[in-house]
Structure 1
């Protein structure tokens, strides 16, 4: 048997360990044992250094193998293909594989591998297929992979990878498939990817990518090598709406794997793919991409018109981002388009009539945008259900709100928010602080309403926004506030009093009347206006308007039903119960809001007074960060911003503020960590007799060393099933935020990535209201649909 060159036993029912004696067969070139029930570890004797070996193909996919990948495989100097997919292997990918100078296929998807992708793979110049999906890999994509110019398929989805996507990937002229979905990649999409002239499949969904979609991405031709599909079996798993399955679908290389193993994938990933949702892709058309999925990120800007030139594009998914502007008319040229998802963005304008000519279009989602006008009824649009167009305040169709209402001929009661008003009040009024009376004075009171319905793009210069104003009568203002009567007061803080007000059309707003001498001078007030007036994000309280007359300052915000997170400490009075699922929703929402301020605004924004009373809760218990009264704009090149006076609230102020009076985004991270502790413990940050001379942070750190579970809110520990494991995980995130050294604290983007790792399988949160009513709040996904971006009007 020592002279045996090929041994192929695939697709049988062999079990037990892989015989160690196989390592003695030094003439063996092809060892195919895939799709069996082999268990145990991979024989360590394979390609031992002291043995001559000729092994070229090692296929052990679709078995029950456990343990580690033997580093000795790096001695298989003739190895061309290594497939260990669909096993239970753990540990790291051996760096010794970087010495395999003939390796073409490195396929190890769907295991439990951890650690980083070895940098040494850059030396494998023959590498064509690098498929490592569905593991637990961390770190960044090795920049040296740009040297592997023969790469055709790079698939790293469903891992825990982060950092930026290397621009050097653009040097891979043969790359046809790039799958990086469901990771934590941040930064911008490299425009250099457009240099991949063979690229036909680009899947970047469910990451933390931001910025605009680069038009350069679409200059590639989509021409692939003829032999790319030879002897390959592909399976495309279409997204059927399963929870946790983001994006349009997933492409798998299924060579050597039994079809029934799809059930195993379904159990582990929560993808409901056992219903026959299989569809093989067609690679036989050259000329453009056929699959583009950038959904569930934090992308902004407008949709590049050049996408309309991608003639063979079949799937286009840009949903759940913060993309603004119009739907390009050029999309009518996508004659092969079958699936179009632009939902949950900030798109405006009308649906182009050119889309009615897309005869192959089977699915569309334009919901949750700011589209207006009539929904086309010709072509395939006649067959699309109404829910594909819902939540567009100006869009009308027979099965939606009647057109005469949506187009402004009558009042639409369903859309009474001030999303699209830009109003100016020319009046003579001043609010006297102590008496709350309104009287007329000489001069003008300018009430500027900011556009909140149109969801604008990220990363703009705040000085470029133009305002368009309409008029609101004085009677409207006085009636809305009942002359600033004290029974309308819903809260007060260090900077002023907040009133609940209702306008004639039923719109409910919150008006904040700043206290004289509160410390906000003209510059501070102007800074707040220039900051929050241009920010649009679902986890920030939108500023609808403001006025400034002499010493008077009034801010008008969207009203938040449940007030601030302070209700945590008096839930009975608030008529609401915050269970663990609801608190996680609040934690993640607040994190997204801060991450937006820190990373997606240009210039960056430091809040400087992050605390529970500045975390407001809307009707869905979604967190909205409020009160940018002490906000400052930070130049993108600066790390810190010096301030003349110490900002913040006792218990939340990071230690370095007392020492240096230097505010930074890492200071906000510390304050956010205190809010996390409040949600985990149910305690206020200061004032408890249990703390002694310490505060909440010190008390938790002291007790967590010996009695970790004792620090958690007893109400949370009573829940069934117990969330104690998750409580500890979230506590570790809080501790990371509360590190004494600012540089050791994570960024808010990194905090979101931590949450993403521990969030899988979260249940729905139940809101228990005072009248006994129940309302379900879906656990927020750590994806792009949660992050919206800064305005560019």
Structure 2
């Protein structure tokens, strides 16, 4: 963990599945740093017990040679960091999962800022996930109980006001808004969590082009627009114009899930991520598709309609099947019977256009899937 600490699995009496954070090299200066972290972590644990904060359970003073001692910070052990999760899953992560992560982190930040505590090192490696994939903020070694700060610290790329404070520190006492700096770091994290084909952080060289990068994604995925707007707002150059954490909580709460998450029809555990062409069915996750393709390496058929798959793609749309617009009218004319969606029947007709996934039923021709909703 960073360049100062190591983390070890531990047990404390009857408490199991714990983690101990301890210094790599103990000295009077580094022990003072640990004591300060323990102080802020204890405050946050006490005042944010209902939030998504990793609690500090115990502080243990371990005696070492020459009458010296060191402090160990003991807390629950978690499955993995958010960074490890994103590296492994970003290519198949559903947008609703991204919003869930963003909401829980923003809620924790809002509670910290309400208490006038700033974290000052918000990043994916300082967010832990439990077995239910819930987010928890960790590492309060850089925390401070004042919104206005003068210490130059954090993870690159730093907010522009911290860079300016560093460049001007020879001129005298320079401060910056620590809460706004947290929001800037959160904006970088929002980009990192954005579903994409491969894991990518926003580095300092890409920052000048971030608006173009995000707008290109928004054009292909309209439902991401609100989320993308918040990234741009958090990364704004003027600290006072960045949104507050509690404002972000309200915005993320207002983003509805696109449609219910559909599980792979093969394993029934992971989300569907692979769409087949030319049939356009999206019914399998990436892992099951790779296994299916290996077993049928000559002519791979769609498991739903048995059409030979010539191309497979990945997207973030929930629809099982896309109907091309030039076929829509003939489908409406031929199947003007009943529209079935979540147990409710509606009449099919000319008022339909592309949108929600549903089924049309015909006694002779059976069931086919189409992506439709009403004007």
Is TM > 0.5 for Structure 1 vs Structure 2? yes
Match of 2:333 in 1: none
2-structure distance, mates of 1:765, 1:676 = 21
Cα deviation for residue 775 of structure 1 reads 8.5
Structure 2 counterpart of 1:540: 53
Question: What TM-score, normalized by structure 1, do the two folds share?
Answer: 0.29
* Runs (5+) with no aligned partner, structure 1: 1-491, 688-692, 711-716, 718-723, 777-793
Correspondence for 2:154: 648
Of the candidates 169, 174, 188, which is equivalent to residue 674 of structure 1?
Answer: 188
Query: Which string of whole-angstrom CA distances, capped at 9 and with x for unpartnered residues, describes residues 106-135 of structure 1?
Result: xxxxxxxxxxxxxxxxxxxxxxxxxxxxxx
Match of 2:3 among 486, 489, 494: 494
Which of 574, 597, 616 matches 2:128? 616
- Is the 8 Å Cα contact of residues 565 and 617 (structure 1) preserved in structure 2? no
Partner residue of 1:596 out of 111, 128, 144 = 111
Structure 2 CA distance for partners of 1:518 and 1:593, relative to 1, 3 Å: farther
**Aligned partners of 2:248, 2:184: CA distance in 1, in Å?**
12
Return the index of the structure with the highest Cα Rg. 1
More helix by share: 2
Q: For residues 670 and 519 of structure 1, what CA distance do their matches in structure 2 show?
A: 33
Written as runs of structure 1 = structure 2, the 5 A alignment for 1:319-334 is none
Residues 673-720 of structure 1, C-alpha deviations (whole Å, 9 max, x = no match):
000000115443356xxxxx713x334223345x3448xxxxxx7xxx
Find the aligned partners of 1:766 and 1:495 in 2 and give their Cα distance.
Answer: 43
Compute the RMSD of aligned alpha carbons. Answer: 3.1
1:665 deviates by 0.5
Partner of 1:583: 98
- Verify: 1:700 aligned to 2:210, yes or no: yes
Query: What whole-Å deviation, never above 9, does each CA across 1:68-93 have from its counterpart, x for those lacking one?
Result: xxxxxxxxxxxxxxxxxxxxxxxxxx
Can you give the 5+ residue segments of structure 2 that lack an aligned partner in the other structure? 63-67, 167-174, 272-375
| Aligned counterpart, 1:631 | 143
- 2:50 and 2:262 mapped to 1: Cα distance? 24
State the 1:591 CA deviation: 0.5
Counterparts of 1:735 and 1:500, CA distance in 2: 39
1:578, CA displacement in angstroms? Answer: 3.2
**Alpha-carbon distance, 1:527 to partner:** 2.4
SS at match of 1:499: strand
SS in 2 for 1:594: helix
Structure 2 vs 1, CA of residues 671 and 767 (structure 1 numbering), >3 Å: closer, same or farther?
farther
CA-CA distance at 1:596 after TM superposition: 0.8
Q: Rate the CA distance shift 1:762–1:606 in 2: closer, same or farther, 3 A.
A: same
For the 8 Å contact 2:96–2:257, the answer to whether it is kept is no
Partners of 1:659 and 1:767 lie apart in 2 by 48
Is contact 2:191-2:202 (8 Å) kept? Answer: no
The CA deviation string for residues 597-618 of structure 1, in whole angstroms up to 9 with x for no partner, is 001x2xx111011101111111
Higher relative contact order (CA closer than 8 Å, sequence separation 6+): 2
**d(CA) in 2 for partners of 1:628, 1:520:** 17
763 and 594 in structure 1: CA distance in 2 versus 1, 3 angstrom threshold: farther
Question: Does the CA contact (< 8 Å) of 2:41 and 2:140 recur in 1?
Answer: yes
Shift of 1:670: 0.3
Cα deviation 1:169-199 (Å, max 9, x = unaligned): xxxxxxxxxxxxxxxxxxxxxxxxxxxxxxx
Q: 1:579, 1:766 within 8 Å by CA — same for their partners in 2?
A: no
Alpha-carbon distance between aligned partners in 2 of 1:630 and 1:568, rounded to the nearest angstrom: 24
1:526 Cα deviation after fit: 2.5
- Give the aligned length: 249
